[in-house]
Amino acid sequence: MSITIGIPRSLYYYKFYPLWNTFFEELGAKVVVSDHTSKYILDQGVKSCVDEACLPVKIFHGHVLNLKDRVDCLFIPRFTSISKNEYICPKFGGLPDVVRNTLSGLPAVIDTEVNLRKSGKNALLAAYDAGKHFCADKRHIRKAFDKAVMCYRQYKKQLMDGKLPGDIFDKKAPKSKAHGAKPLNIAVIGHEYNLYDRYVNMNLLQKLKSSVANIITVDMLSEELINEKTRQLPKRMFWNFGRRAVGAALHLLERKDIDGVIFIMSFGCGVDSFVCDLVERRIRRESMIPFLVLTIDEHSGEAGMDTRLEAFIDMIRWRCSCENNLPAYG
């Protein structure tokens, strides 16, 4: 009988699930993903996690609890870096230890370290480390890894083409937009786990789509384009998320078709607090593009979020039609 491995539908699930799923399935494992985030999962996470943690980490705990009794092992990689010469938030590095020391009755945890700071080749070493729990043959692990990387590249291409992870994973066709008002181009910047988890962001992307807005996310921009823009900064960014968010913002500033930018921020997130500030300063200083920050935590109410979103969209539409009939970008 095959080993069942649990993958929490949280944090880097939205970035790497196609890669992990293919890799483990190729090694003969059965992959089980936790349920979609719900009030119950959130409450369980909040109850079990330390108060100081950010919302995404609390939700991650809820997903682990959702999985723990139905799998043989859990996959909680220890991420240090996912790109050369860059780091990610240190909370990812300590995540397996935090989870182990907070939650009881867990199955085995596979906590492979992923550290690509020095070289992208370290991804293969991480694959050997994770794969050894399922297969002793290194050649077979290598083959599974190559196939997983192929799926990952296809996934990234689908994101660049404008698809959302939820639609790709659930194999759903994207909903068509209502006809009528002229579509607005709204860029949404934020961590994948805030952007693509519909419960966390209270279905923000779908709401934007139904307000007749085309959504532009950082995943829809090429890495080359982002890097070209971040090279203009006086100092190199060493946070992966920071580089991508600021590079995307600099690109959006130069486009003539962006009607508004929304930044989704987690309350209590150190990385977001300065990345959002940098993005906001550049946008406010160098453009007339309306900018909205939505901060989410476990107390965020949907009514408050909807009101702000509707006011933002109404303001952009009003501006387009009444303020000398100029578009938001000047």
Least gap, CB of 192 to ligand SF4 (angstroms) = 10
7 versus 271: smaller Cβ distance to ligand SF4 = 271
Least gap, CB of 239 to ligand SF4 (angstroms) = 9
52 versus 224: smaller Cβ distance to ligand SF4 = 52
Of 61, 65, 66, the C-alpha closest to 46 is 61
31 versus 98: smaller Cβ distance to ligand SF4 = 98
226 versus 269: smaller Cβ distance to ligand SF4 = 269
Kindly state the DSSP code that residue 235 receives in the 8-state scheme: S
Least gap, CB of 153 to ligand SF4 (angstroms) = 24
Question: Taking the CA of residue 65 as centre, how many other CA atoms within 13 Å lie in the half-sphere pointing to its CB?
Answer: 21
CA–CA separation, 2 and 324 (whole Å):
66
Least gap, CB of 165 to ligand SF4 (angstroms) = 17
CA–CA separation, 261 and 223 (whole Å):
20
Q: Contact, 75 vs 20, CB < 8 A?
A: yes
Least gap, CB of 284 to ligand SF4 (angstroms) = 23
Q: Contact, 75 vs 11, CB < 8 A?
A: no
Least gap, CB of 240 to ligand SF4 (angstroms) = 10
CA–CA separation, 182 and 254 (whole Å):
22
190 versus 290: smaller Cβ distance to ligand SF4 = 190
Q: What is the number of residues in the chain?
A: 330
216 versus 271: smaller Cβ distance to ligand SF4 = 271
Strand-strand pairing, 260-266 and 184-189: parallel
| 3-class DSSP assignment, residue 83 | coil
Question: Using CB under 6 A as the criterion, which residues of the chain lie in contact with ligand SF4 when the complex forms?
Answer: 54, 56-57, 89, 91, 191, 266, 269-272
Strand-strand pairing, 30-33 and 78-81: unpaired
Least gap, CB of 168 to ligand SF4 (angstroms) = 22
Q: Which two tokens stand for residue 115?
A: 């550290």
24 CB neighbour count, 10 Å cutoff: 25
| 3-class DSSP assignment, residue 188 | strand
Q: Which two tokens stand for residue 62?
A: 């809820």
191 versus 244: smaller Cβ distance to ligand SF4 = 191
Question: What is the dihedral sign for C-alpha 198, 200, 206, 210?
Answer: positive
Least gap, CB of 115 to ligand SF4 (angstroms) = 17
151 versus 246: smaller Cβ distance to ligand SF4 = 246
